[in-house]
């Protein structure tokens, strides 16, 4: 079965299809904004949903390696960069919604607001780290930095995860809505614990 899936996922149309599928949440939100179907407060809905999709894609990216090893599908690694860039894409939309709807694109006010509110500061720091990861994702950067330094730099994702969860927690804390926070914390926590477990295993016991 894994051999069959491996062959199917190597087909040239799979990547373009995945690219389009990852754009569907954006298309849905854009259509909702144009058609005014996002509820009584469209601005808040866009801010909330873009944040939700950033977290969802972060979960998907971190799940690629465990799924690749569990199902014996090394081909999944070829989609990880694209999925990682979609994390950054939805994080940029989330930041844009804050800058536009909350702050009216008044850049002086935005600069003053970021250090003033802890959850905004944490969200901005998360976005900065994602920007570094996105900017260093191309293959030519990997070659320029060298594999070891590039891997060390991309371990910043382990900082992104708790910062993103903290930002999300503070976003929901105002409304005492912690069910989604607990769900994402459980998923991301398990994915991070899996990595810790893998790192602690003897090298010869790890899957290829």
pLDDT at position 208 is: 43
* pLDDT value of position 139: 86
pTM value is 0.91
Segments of the chain with pLDDT less than 70: 1, 201-208
pLDDT at position 13: 92
What Cα–Cα distance (Å) separates residue 117 from each residue in 104, 114, 135, 183, 185? 17, 6, 27, 25, 22
The CA distance from 14 to 31, in Å, is 25
**How much is the pLDDT for 206?**
52
Determine the pLDDT at residue 149: 86
d(CA 36, CA 58): 28
The CA distances from residue 206 to 38, 78, 155, 188, 196, in Å, are: 46, 20, 19, 21, 12
Calculate helix-pair angle for 157-173, 118-135, nearest 10 degrees. 150
The full set of domain ranges for the chain reads 41-62+80-205
Give the model's pLDDT for residue 1.
Answer: 60
What's the pLDDT tens digit per position in 102-153? 889 999 999 999 999 999 999 999 999 999 999 999 888 888 888 888 888 8
Residue 16 has a pLDDT of 94
* Residue that is written with structure tokens 């601005």 in the block: 43
3 state DSSP class of 169 = helix
Cα–Cα distances in angstroms (integers) from residue 105 to residues 50, 88, 98, 132, 144, in the given order: 18, 20, 9, 23, 36
Phi and psi of 176, rounded to 5°? 50, 40
């Amino acid at each position: 079965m894994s051999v069959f899936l491996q062959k199917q996922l190597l087909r040239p149309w799979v990547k373009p299809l995945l690219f389009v599928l990852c754009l569907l949440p954006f298309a849905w939100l854009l259509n909702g904004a144009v058609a005014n179907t996002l509820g009584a407060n469209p601005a808040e809905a866009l801010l909330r949903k873009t944040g939700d999709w950033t977290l969802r894609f972060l979960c998907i990216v971190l799940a690629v390696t465990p799924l690749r090893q569990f199902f014996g599908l090394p081909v999944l690694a070829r989609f990880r960069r694209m999925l990682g860039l979609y994390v950054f894409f939805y994080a940029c939309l989330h930041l844009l919604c804050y800058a536009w709807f909350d702050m009216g694109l008044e850049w002086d006010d935005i600069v003053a607001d970021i250090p003033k509110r802890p959850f905004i500061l944490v969200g901005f720091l998360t976005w900065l780290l994602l920007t570094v990861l996105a900017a260093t994702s191309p293959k030519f950067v990997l070659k320029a930095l060298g594999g070891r330094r590039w891997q060390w730099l991309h371990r910043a994702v382990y900082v992104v995860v708790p910062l993103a969860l903290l930002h999300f927690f503070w976003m929901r804390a105002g409304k005492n809505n912690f069910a989604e926070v607990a769900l994402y914390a459980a998923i991301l926590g398990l994915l991070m614990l899996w990595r810790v477990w893998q790192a602690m295993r003897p090298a010869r016991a790890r899957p290829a």
